Structures are given as structure tokens and as C-alpha cells.
A and B are shown apart, each in its own frame.
Chain A
Amino acid sequence: MSTTLPSDYAAAPVLADVLPPAKKRGRVAMFVHRYPTIAIGGALLAVIVAIAILAPYLWTVDPTAIAPAKRTRAPSELYWFGTDMLGRDIYSRVMFGTRVSLAVGFAVAAVSSAVGLFIGLCAGFVRILDTVVMRVMDGLMSIPSILLAIALMALIGASVQNVVIAISIAEIPRVARLVRGVVLSLREHAYVEAAIASGTRVPKIIWRHILPNTLAPLIVQATFICASAMLAEATLSFIGAGTPPTIPSWGNIMSEGRALWQVKPFIVFFPAVFLSLTVLAVNLLGDGLRDALDPRLAKRI
């Protein structure tokens, strides 16, 4: 309903809205806006995982096919990333190499988190174990992790599985320490004392009250372990103590390109770019998760 006002009616002009109208965002846009690092890291990692899964269908050829006549070709329309010293297509090798890096990264993160969680829980809950186990962990941490991994690889021989074992052993103490610290602080919480007073048995206290509250820092730590495991795998392969040379991995490609890097830098360049991007993606994801899960953790790790 509208009322006509007399023309001489003294009315204030309609004021503009003080606040600009709120932007309407979709759910995805909202998420990206709130957690940009998770979104960017997650998206990048998703692309890399897709590459690993779809490697055979991404216009690749057999990454191990040798063609001595076509050695060290520069990147071209035919060989997108060029060819290496044995004439193998670097593009195909890099694409397939994604599989090794991701498999090693995820496997090490999973294995060392699981074992470290178990050790940390035991050490945090059983007083006698604490001293012994944590001194062993300190001992392991006093050896540079890459040296420890090299020594283990020399001991157990080269294979992807052994790379995972060697890097995991070097990473377990870090997880165990983190979990033990969290467990010790959680044990002091009144709700754990209340649970003891309510007759809750120790395994259930660990399962119900301790474990769920250690998961947030553990997940964050796992992403960082994943990133550093990929770097460690590349390092081990680069110095010839990692993935066997028959399997294309980024470390192996760089290792083989090392001798020629001043004249044919592209051999090292492409796997290095992929490795850096993957590590960056995982680290971004971890950073974002840390801030999203618990802002107070930002200073603890």
C-alpha cells in the first residue's frame, strides 16, 4: 500500500544502507574463504593424486622403454619434458614417479603415526615404560634421520617397501614424543580424573578420553611427516640408497640427470618442480588443518 504525501511535506531523503549488503557465497566459496590454505593445498594435492592414479592415461608411454638413439632430447612437442640419457621419456617417468612419491609419503605417514601413537600412549600411561621407551626414542632422534635411513637401507636392501620402513623408523620418535606430551597433559584434565572416579577402566579411558583428543595434533603431524618422507625418499633415491633404479621415481630421475645438469638442466628440473609442488601442497594442507583444528596448536608444533 502506498500513501501519497503532499508535495511540500518535509521528509528526509532515503538513506543509503549503512552496511554494504552481505555477499552471498556458496558453501564451497565459504570454505575457500575461511580456510584458504586447506583449499589450495587440498586442490593441489588432489591434482597430484589424480596424476598418480591416471598416469597411464595421461598421454604417457612406457616410462622404462629405452631408446638410445633419442638420448637427451630437449623438451619438444613429441617429448614434453625431453628424454634422459637412455632416451626414456621424462614426462612419462615424472608422471609415473608421482605414484612412488605419494605411496612412500602416505605409507610413512600412516605407519609412523600408528606406531608412534601406540608408543606415545604406552609411554604416557605406564610410568615404568616412559623412562625406558623415551630414552630409546631420544637415542633414535640423536642420529640424523637421513643417515639412519641410509644405514637401514644398506642393511635391508633397496625396495620401495624398505624405503618406507627405513624412513618410518626415523620418523617414529617424533610422533611418539608429540603423543606422549599430549597424553601427559590430557591425563591431568579433570575429566580423566572424573572418569577414573566413575570406575572407567584404563583401556576405555585411553580409547574414549585420551585418543580422540590426541588425533588433531597427530593428523597435523602426519601431514608434515608425509611431506618430509617424500623429500627423504627423493634424497635416498638421489644418492642411490633408495628406490631401485628400475622403478621411475623423482629421486631416481634427478639422480640420473645429475651428471648432465649443467648441459641438460631439464632432466633435473621437471621432477624437482613436481617434488616441490607436492611437498608444498601437503605442507599447506597441514598448516591449514592445524589452524582449523586448534588455533592454540599453532605455537606448539
Chain B
Amino acid sequence: MTIRTPPLLEVNALKKHYPLSGGLFGGNKGAVYALDGVSFTLEKGETLSVVGESGCGKSTLGKTILRLVDPTDGEVFLDGERIDNLPPSQLRQMRRRVQVVFQDPFSSLNPRQRVRDIIAEPIVNFGLARGSELDDRVAALMDKVRLPRDAMRRFPHEFSGGQRQRIGIARALAPGSDLIVCDEAVSALDVSVKAQIVNLLSDLQDELGLALLFISHDLAIVEHLTHRVAVMYLGKIVEIADRHALFSAPHHPYTRALLSAVPVPDPTIRRQRVILKGDVPSPINPPAGCRFHTRCPFVHDRCRAEEPVLRSAGQAGHVSACHLDDIPPIS
């Protein structure tokens, strides 16, 4: 047996429950099960996309890994070192390696800071450079994200959405990070700008060996960018697979439904559409058994009683949480 080097990021049974307090005196009235036992690994230089409907917990996953919110339970390892329970002093050092790009390019930059100060902030925080060296680093970062250097002295409101997102990416790269959590990083952009930013991200990944945790609801973008895909439903991962396996041979009925909702740019192709009925159940009171059973077209008795675990579904690394194996492929 060879000694495995630990993956860059390993998430193990991560849970985040937001307690619900109601009434005047804040009595405890249950919890929102935003994340309910999520596990996956992410290798160096790899992109893992997390997809799912609104409210399935994908943003909470990103925030919990970034420790913007504290996990309720579970473990997170960075390079084999546990990071979910670090004391504040060591937490800051961890933050140098894990950065974030947010969805809204208009609220993610302080309107009263100049671009140079925005990009320099993480470098200064970690004491990585100062003086003219700092200016050089900021200039190099701006070259990397293809922003003109004279943008340094400007304020964020002088830029378009795509340019602002480049500023956000430069800030995320600034401390020499290994992992960037892209929380819907391109969802707010125009289609053409979206493509530019996605290409920029994958170029940067090739150049710097970054790992990306790409949180998105847009499967078309994900297919273009990612190595692997994790599909989330109601706080749980229902399927993880390589991009190719997931898009060509999806196993879980939910994944099939998501894929069949992606528009195909050819009007002559007639597809069998899987259209889900109803809404996502409330994460306050998730259904027993398989969480998807209320909307699944292949539901049977076992689904209502027994919660399926992630198990192998064909190729190596392809796991899915469904009891069934004989669902007919979509034509």
C-alpha cells in the first residue's frame, strides 16, 4: 500500500445547523439543517463544482469552509491538518491559503477604498510585503487578472461588473492562496463577461496550480470549467462524479432532472425532459428517508424509510446516494 498524500481539502461529515429562535424570549424551536453531513475531497489544482437549487446549502458550504460561519459538527482538513476548530490566531494563518470570490461584484468591494488598497489588504494583513515591493505585487496581480495598471488609483464604482469581479479575483489571489472558493462568482455577470471570467479562472488555475471550489447553479458554466461536480440537495451531497461521467451518465434522479433542465442550443433535438414536481422541502423539517423522495419520479417504499448512503455508481470516483441502479438512461 502506498502512502497517500492528503488531499488539499478534505471535508468530512460537515454539518451546519442554524438554530431557530422564536418568540420574545428566544426559545429554541428546532433548526435549519443547511448542511447535514457533507463529505468530499479536493485535490491541488483541481476544480470541484458544487451545484444545486437555491437553498440547498451550497453557499453555506463555502462559508463554513472559509469559517465565515462556524460548523456545527464535522471536520475540515487542509493539507491533512484540521482547520475547523482552529483558535483565532492559527485561523488567521489558515485564511492566507483559503480565499473567496463573491457573487455580487457591487457589494464585495468597499466603495471607499481604492483598487490598490483593496488588492493590497490581504498582503498587508499577513505582512507579506511592504513599500515598493507591495506596489510591485499589486501591479503583478493586476497584470494577472488583466486589469490596466492605471486602475490602481481608482475607486470600485468606476468599473463595470466584470472588471470589479477581476478586482475581487486579484484580491483572492493576493496572499498566494491555494484554494479559492468561488461563491456564484460569475452568476451576476453578462454572458460574454461570464465567459471571460471563467476563462480567466481556468488560466489562473493552470498557471498557479489553484484549487477552485466553484459554487454555482449554472450547469452550462460548470461543464465548461470543472474537473468534478458535486450535486447538492437539501444540505446533502447526492452525487459526486467526474465532469464527463456526470454529464454523460448521471446516476441520481435529481442530477438527471437538473441536467435535463439545461437548454441545448439546437432546436431540432427533442429530448425527454424530467420535470420535477413541487418545491424543495423546507430544510427546517427535511423529509425522512431519502430527502428527494417527495419529488422523485422513481420513488418506492424503501426511499421513504431508509436514507440512501453515497455508494459507487459505475466508474471510480463516481458516487451517488440512490437506492436504485436500474433507472433507464435519458434518451
A residues apposed to B, CB below 8 Å: 189-191, 193-201, 204, 208-209, 212-213
Contact = CB atoms under 8 A, between A and B. Distances in A.
B319 interface: no
A197 B66 contact: yes
B125 A199 contact: yes
A255 to B, nearest CB: 46
Contacts of A201: 92, 125
Contact of A213 (B96, B111, B171): B111
B110 interface: yes
Given A189-B107, A191-B109, A208-B113, A196 B96 contact: no
B104 interface: yes
A188 to B, nearest CB: 9
Interface of B: 63, 66, 68, 92, 95-96, 98-100, 102-104, 107-113, 121-122, 125-126, 168, 171, 174-175
Contact of A200 (B66, B100, B121, B174): B121
Given A208-B113, A213-B110, 19 more contacts: A190-B102, A190-B104, A191-B107, A191-B109, A191-B110, A193-B100, A194-B102, A194-B108, A197-B98, A197-B100, A198-B125, A198-B171, A199-B95, A199-B96, A201-B92, A201-B125, A204-B125, A212-B112, A213-B112
Contacts of B113: 208-209
B110 A209 contact: yes
A197 B66 CA distance: 7
Given A191-B108, A193-B102, A213-B112, A199 B175 contact: yes
Given A197-B100, A199-B125, A200-B125, A190 B108 contact: yes
29 contacts: A189-B107, A190-B103, A190-B104, A190-B107, A190-B108, A191-B109, A193-B68, A193-B102, A194-B108, A197-B68, A197-B98, A198-B99, A198-B121, A198-B122, A198-B125, A198-B171, A198-B175, A199-B92, A199-B96, A199-B125, A200-B121, A201-B92, A208-B113, A208-B121, A209-B110, A209-B113, A212-B110, A213-B111, A213-B112
Contacts of A189: 107-108
B95 A197 contact: yes
Nearest to A210: B110
A119 to B, nearest CB: 23
B62 to A, nearest CB: 10
A189 B109 CA distance: 9
Contacts of A195: 110, 121
Across the A-B interface, give the 9 residue pairs with the lowest CB-CB distance, nearest first.
A198-B122, A190-B108, A190-B102, A199-B95, A199-B125, A212-B112, A191-B110, A199-B92, A197-B100
Contacts of B122: 198-200
Contact of B126 (A191, A194, A199): A199
Nearest to A196: B68
Contacts of B92: 199, 201
B116 to A, nearest CB: 14
Nearest to B168: A194
A267 B307 CA distance: 87
Contacts of B96: 199
Nearest to A195: B121
A194 B171 contact: yes
B280 to A, nearest CB: 24
A189 B68 CA distance: 12
A294 to B, nearest CB: 11
Nearest to B108: A190
A194 B168 CA distance: 9
Contacts of A200: 121-122, 125
A151 to B, nearest CB: 31
Q: Counting chain B CB atoms within 10 Å of each CB, which of A190, A204, A213 scores highest?
A: A190
Nearest to B117: A208
Nearest to A211: B112
Contacts of B107: 189-191
B250 to A, nearest CB: 32
Contact of B95 (A190, A198, A208, A209): A198
Contacts of B110: 191, 195, 208-209, 212-213
Contacts of A193: 63, 68, 100, 102
Contacts of A190: 102-104, 107-108
